[in-house]
Amino acid sequence: MTTSTGFDIRRIGGRIGAEILGADLSETLDPAIVSDINTALLEHKALVFRDQHLDDAAQLRFASLFGELTTAHPTVPSVEEQPSILPVDAEEGIRANHWHTDVTFVRTPPKVSTLRGIVVPPYGGNTLIANSAAAYRDLPEPLRELADKLWAVHTNDYDYAAPKNAKAAEHRKRFVSRKYRTAHPVVRVHPETGERGLFIGGFAQSLIGLGPSESRDLLRILQSSVIRPENILRVAWSPGDVVLFDNRITQHYAPDDYGDLPRLLHRVTVAGDVPVGVDGERSYVLEGDEAGHYTPAVA
């Protein structure tokens, strides 16, 4: 498909993902092109821009086209002198090998995330992105009706992985240096499209009103719908690639399948709003703060 502004959109997944051809992200993009990219993002959930070779400044400029930028992370340090860029560096123990939506443990998780490939292993090191709206639609009607009523507690303080080395242990210590617990609807209504998506992932650790055993079982059942192969896009990186995904209606995962090889991505996120459930209720803080130091988004 060729847009009116001249770039091509090529679907690369049956339910999620498209590659954008003919757009040079290093240039100043016309507002009409940005609008077309945003429209494609809302439809396809994740967009891949090959062979862009941006520097930090260009990635920041591109991400800012979609809204006000967050700082890099609520607890993890940014790239030196770049407060809005998070280094996703395997050598520093940052291996996001669990399904998650970025920073859902705060009240206003990012709207969209951009990733830029800098150092890429010769094998492995892909990024998997899942469509949580398709996952919701896949549920049998009784499960959808139940999910519509559920709220989950998201937190950054849980044992998602045993540190493999001293660097990983230090990263883990920084990650939980400030504890957050936030209640989000299990089914989030997308603020632009009105789609319903399962808003869970690795930071969702319990369900409000249910005990630990029931919470684990129900979250496992719902999460199994998100990670069905039909709902997943696998991005094989090359240096210079840029990926843009809608953090409000996707999850992602980076398989730890490249041994001790280096892998470095830079992440920049756009500030998001407060998630809203099917009943119109908004997410709320249980522990921690509003993360105002992290996101300038209006609550």
- Find out whether 209 and 12 touch, Cβ atoms under 8 Å: no
Catalytic residue among 73, 171, 181, 267: 267
Active site (annotated) includes residue 234: no
Catalytic annotation present for 267: yes
Q: What is the DSSP letter of 70?
A: P
Per DSSP, what are the bridge partners of residue 152? Answer: 184, 207
Q: Taking the CA atoms of the chain, what radius of gyration do you get in angstroms?
A: 18
Quick one: which of 123, 115, 92, 86 has its CA closest to 236?
Answer: 123
Tell me the β-bridge partners of 86: 267
102 has catalytic annotation: yes
Q: Hey, how many other C-beta atoms are within 10 angstroms of the C-beta on 292?
A: 12
Catalytic-role residue among 15, 73, 100, 181: 100
* Coil vs helix vs strand at 246: strand
Residue 172 bears catalytic tag: no
Q: Which of 188, 196, 248, 252 is catalytic?
A: 252
Residue tagged active-site, from 15, 89, 95, 102? 102
251-to-25, 49, 197, 229, 236 alpha-carbon distances in Å: 24, 19, 10, 13, 17
Q: Which positions are catalytic? A: 100, 102, 252, 267
